């Protein structure tokens, strides 16, 4: 009996297995599949990396290196969870026309989250031409939906022919040339919580899945403002970073360039403005544009709080240009330096006794010992020039941004934001009996972001929950003027990824003395408009990426500007008016004697008393280096057989 060689026998079986595999692969490759089978009902194709054959599908769109095909009504599965469209990469100019019925053979490839037929071993045959395009999928307020899923609604129409009707453009044309849009009937806003899927036990934001991008296949996207609308047909796809992208083959845009300005204040009102000035430097064009914004858009508020200013000279230059435009407006500049993004104020001469000081300069982050406030909150205290002066206090803030709220530095960022909010709450607690306003770029929403609830921590109001719980500080909660006095559809000052949101707030103590809030207006000139307008000095649009606001406060009486007094010239006493520490008071003494200088407030109280010693008769010069607050005083100089008094406005900054 002769036995077969075992090694030879194993080789026979191995060769037979290879033959059967190749035969099976070739057999399967020749069995046509439908597009919906290749797409599947998940986020990626069940045939990824497989060679497939797709027959009798219609070409719906073409670009320079790819084209799109879709099932006809005869070979669709009519299942809304699976897509009937797919993109074919041709490697060069596709040799097909829109309306061609084609067969395509090639490998499936998931590329940037898009199911594609790539150009490796690609075979395309045109079967017929001039076929009608499929009926487009209509996007409306119900589709794509407003609730997130593991498989996005738009995945089910990837590569398909779709139509938009009066879709809302939710952000201005981006610097990269695309638009952010929604087919829903309302503008999308940021909502409380951590973006979906979130963290257990904390508020979750759905991420607004109804928002997606729009680009044009055959032309450049026009420059449009948020709030414009579009009717379009085209193909649903995905772009960079997995963002769903509508590629329009035809589009009709309805532009909306609506701006909103502040109104002129009444004689018994005072106004407070606020603007993040976006790294405002001394460039003469940007300074002039900001000055025009203050005059034409903000209507020259009595106080303007700035964030992101690059020096006191910038504010002084703005003040000069405002005065050149409106001579009766006089602003004084105040700034606390913190590098390239300092906090500052412009204050009109409708206020007196102005002082400005940074707060919390020495405070540290508990976990690192690093500086807590890189941009220290900036306290302004002043009196409104009413017949009985009305005190007012402002704390200008620019809190640590949300950048890094997730990732390797997340714990530090969250801790710093939380401790900054607690610190500011304590600053408020120390001044709750004042006419106090806290305003600026909080880099925080009016509600919890899920990690830190900055605004409710500062205000002492209830929170929906956060990873860092709100710590009780205030006995009496504050009010958020930019939320309570603004209509819901206008509650935004910034747009991020197509979502409108408030980052710039004004908080106030509940009990104001001789003041009440009349109105709050966001100036619509920046966030809704094209970012490149910032450097276009032929348009008034876009002085920053944030919208500024103006608060209107009702006074118990009328307010007036302090009128500069002429220089005081008595028989033997002369001084500039207003008077600053650098100025000289001249006294002509008729006889030798001991010289005394006193300052009295307008209420008659003695504010300062100095003895200057013995002087001979003749001309005496006295330095006006008086350590008193800015305001109106009566200056009295006395000596032997000499006494003279003059009214003076002293300006000490």
Tens digit of each residue's pLDDT (9 = 90 or more) over 384-432: 998 889 999 999 999 999 999 999 999 999 999 999 999 999 999 999 9
| pLDDT at site 263 | 98
Residue 239 has pLDDT above 90, yes or no: no
Residue 295 has pLDDT above 60, yes or no: yes
Q: What is the pLDDT averaged over residues 203-216?
A: 97
Looking at domain 568-650, its CATH class is mainly beta
Strands 229-238 and 161-171: antiparallel
CB 518 within 8 A of CB 529: no
Provide, for the chain, the percentages of residues in helix, strand and coil under a 3-state DSSP scheme, each rounded to the nearest 5: 15, 40, 45
Identify the weakest region by mean pLDDT among 151-165, 218-232, 638-652: 638-652
| pLDDT at site 425 | 98
Phi, psi of 9 (to 5 degrees): -65, -45
H-state helical runs in 477-618:
481-484
Closest by CA to 381, choosing from 339, 405, 353, is 353
Identify the weakest region by mean pLDDT among 77-91, 252-266, 416-430, 613-627: 613-627
| pLDDT at site 186 | 94
**At 602, is the pLDDT very low, low, confident or very high (cuts 50, 70, 90)?**
confident
For 32-72+82-128, which CATH superfamily applies? Bacterial OB-fold (2.40.50.200)
**At 28, is the pLDDT very low, low, confident or very high (cuts 50, 70, 90)?**
very low
pLDDT digits (tens, 9 = 90+) for 82-93: 999 999 999 888
CA-to-CA distance for 113 and 461, rounded, in angstroms? 43
Report the percent of the chain where pLDDT is more than 70. 94
Residue 219 has pLDDT above 90, yes or no: yes
CB 394 within 8 A of CB 302: no
CATH topology of domain 269-555: Deoxyribonuclease I; Chain A (3.60.10)
State in Å, rounded, how far the first CA of the chain is from the last one. 117
| pLDDT at site 649 | 85
| pLDDT at site 241 | 66
Task: Annotate 581-645 with DSSP letters as a single string.
Answer: TT-EEEEEESS-EEEEEEEEETTS-EEEEEEEEEE-SEEEEEE------SEEEEEEEEETTEEEE
Residue of 538 and 648 predicted with greater confidence: 538
| pLDDT at site 202 | 97
Closest by CA to 476, choosing from 461, 465, 462, 457, is 461
CB 573 within 8 A of CB 646: yes
Report the percent of the chain where pLDDT is more than 90. 81
pLDDT digits (tens, 9 = 90+) for 108-137: 999 888 999 999 999 999 999 999 999 999
Strands 549-555 and 515-522: antiparallel
| pLDDT at site 566 | 76
**At 20, is the pLDDT very low, low, confident or very high (cuts 50, 70, 90)?**
very low
Residue 351 has pLDDT above 80, yes or no: yes
Residue of 641 and 15 predicted with greater confidence: 641
Q: What is the pLDDT averaged over residues 527-535?
A: 97
Residue 565 has pLDDT above 70, yes or no: no
**At 6, is the pLDDT very low, low, confident or very high (cuts 50, 70, 90)?**
very low
Question: What would the two tokens of residue 341 be?
Answer: 């993004």
Residue of 577 and 360 predicted with greater confidence: 360
Residue 370 has pLDDT above 50, yes or no: yes
Q: Which residues pair with 652 in a beta bridge?
A: none
Residue of 238 and 465 predicted with greater confidence: 465
Question: What would the two tokens of residue 407 be?
Answer: 């990732």
Closest by CA to 438, choosing from 294, 307, 278, is 307
Closest by CA to 346, choosing from 443, 258, 277, is 277
CA atoms within 13 A on the CB side of 390: 23
Contacts of 406 (CB under 8 A, 6+ apart): none
Residue 398 to residues 307, 528, 558, 650, Cα–Cα distance (Å): 7, 22, 32, 32
- Same fold: 32-72+82-128 with 137-254: yes
CB 105 within 8 A of CB 130: no
Identify the weakest region by mean pLDDT among 55-64, 189-198, 629-638: 629-638
In the chain, domain spans: 1-29, 32-72+82-128, 137-254, 269-555, 568-650
| pLDDT at site 50 | 95
| pLDDT at site 2 | 38
**At 30, is the pLDDT very low, low, confident or very high (cuts 50, 70, 90)?**
low
**At 653, is the pLDDT very low, low, confident or very high (cuts 50, 70, 90)?**
low
Question: What would the two tokens of residue 404 be?
Answer: 């890094």
CA-to-CA distance for 455 and 110, rounded, in angstroms? 43
Q: What is the pLDDT averaged over residues 54-73?
A: 96
| CATH number at 137-254 | 2.40.50
Q: What is the pLDDT averaged over residues 463-471?
A: 97
CB 261 within 8 A of CB 512: no
Closest by CA to 214, choosing from 257, 254, 184, 174, is 174
285-302: b (≥16 Cβ within 10 Å) or e? ebbbbbbbbbeebbbbbb
**At 563, is the pLDDT very low, low, confident or very high (cuts 50, 70, 90)?**
low
| pLDDT at site 387 | 85
The mean pLDDT of the chain is 92
Identify the weakest region by mean pLDDT among 225-229, 250-254, 344-348, 639-643: 639-643
Contacts of 494 (CB under 8 A, 6+ apart): 500, 501, 502, 503, 504, 527, 545, 546, 547
Residue of 281 and 604 predicted with greater confidence: 281
Closest by CA to 187, choosing from 572, 528, 460, is 528
């Amino acid at each position: 009996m002769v036995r077969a060689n075992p090694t030879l026998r194993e080789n026979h079986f191995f060769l037979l297995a290879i033959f059967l595999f190749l035969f099976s692969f070739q057999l399967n490759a020749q069995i046509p599949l439908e597009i919906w089978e290749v797409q599947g009902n998940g986020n990626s194709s069940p045939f990824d990396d497989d060679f497939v054959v797709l027959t009798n599908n219609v070409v719906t769109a073409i670009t320079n290196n790819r084209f799109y095909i879709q099932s006809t009504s005869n070979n669709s599965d009519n299942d809304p969870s699976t897509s009937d469209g797919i993109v074919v990469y041709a490697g060069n100019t596709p040799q097909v026309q829109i309306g061609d019925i084609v067969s395509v053979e090639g490998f499936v490839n998931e590329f940037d989250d898009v199911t594609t037929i790539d150009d490796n071993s690609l075979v395309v045959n045109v079967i017929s031409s001039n076929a009608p395009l499929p009926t487009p999928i209509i996007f409306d307020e119900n589709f794509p939906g407003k609730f997130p899923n593991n498989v996005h609604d738009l995945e089910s129409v990837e590569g398909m022919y779709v139509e938009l009707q009066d879709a809302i453009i939710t952000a201005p044309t981006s610097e990269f040339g695309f638009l952010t849009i929604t087919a829903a009937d309302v503008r999308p806003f940021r909502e409380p919580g951590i973006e979906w899927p979130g963290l257990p036990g904390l508020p979750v934001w759905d991420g607004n899945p109804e928002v997606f991008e729009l680009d044009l296949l055959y032309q450049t996207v026009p420059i449009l403002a948020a709030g414009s609308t579009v009717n379009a047909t085209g193909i649903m796809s995905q772009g960079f970073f997995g963002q769903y992208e509508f590629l329009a083959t035809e589009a009709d845009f309805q532009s909306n360039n609506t701006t909103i300005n502040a109104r002129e204040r009444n004689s018994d009102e005072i106004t407070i403005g606020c603007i993040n000035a976006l790294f405002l430097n001394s460039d003469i064009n940007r300074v002039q544009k900001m000055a025009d914004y203050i005059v034409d858009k903000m209507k020259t508020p009595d106080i303007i709080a700035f964030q992101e200013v690059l020096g006191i000279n910038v504010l002084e230059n703005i003040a000069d240009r405002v005065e050149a435009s409106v001579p009766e407006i006089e602003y004084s500049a105040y700034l606390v330096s913190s590098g390239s993004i300092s906090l500052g104020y412009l204050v009109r001469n409708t206020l007196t006794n102005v002082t400005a000081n940074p707060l919390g300069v020495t405070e540290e982050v508990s976990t690192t010992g690093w500086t807590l406030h890189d941009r220290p909150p900036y306290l302004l205290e002043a009196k409104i020039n009413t017949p009985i002066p009305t005190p007012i206090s402002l704390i200008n803030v620019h809190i640590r941004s949300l950048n890094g709220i997730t990732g390797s530095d997340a714990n530090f960022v969250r801790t710093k934001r939380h401790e900054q909010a607690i610190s500011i709450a304590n600053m408020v607690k120390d001044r709750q009996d004042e006419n106090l306003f806290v305003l600026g770029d909080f880099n925080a929403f009016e509600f919890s972001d899920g990690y830190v609830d900055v605004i409710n921590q500062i205000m002492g109001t209830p929170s929906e929950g956060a990873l860092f719980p709100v710590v009780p500080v205030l006995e009496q909660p504050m009010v958020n003027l930019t939320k309570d006095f603004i209509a819901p559809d206008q509650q935004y000052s910034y747009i991020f990824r197509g979502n409108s949101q408030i980052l710039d707030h004004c908080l106030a103590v509940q009990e104001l003395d001789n003041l009440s809030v009349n109105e709050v207006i966001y100036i619509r000139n920046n966030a809704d408009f094209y970012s490149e307008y910032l450097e276009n000095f032929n348009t008034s649009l876009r002085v920053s990426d944030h919208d500024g606001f103006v608060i209107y406060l009702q006074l118990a009486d009328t307010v007036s500007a302090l009128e500069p007094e002429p220089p005081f010239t008595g028989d033997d006493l002369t001084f500039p008016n207003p008077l600053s520490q650098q100025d000289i008071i001249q006294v002509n003494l008729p006889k030798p004697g001991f010289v005394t200088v006193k300052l009295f407030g307008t209420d008659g109280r003695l504010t300062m008393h100095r003895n200057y010693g013995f002087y001979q008769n003749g001309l005496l010069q006295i330095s006006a280096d008086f350590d008193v607050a800015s305001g109106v005083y009566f200056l009295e100089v006395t000596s032997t057989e000499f006494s003279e008094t003059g009214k003076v406005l002293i300006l000490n900054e």
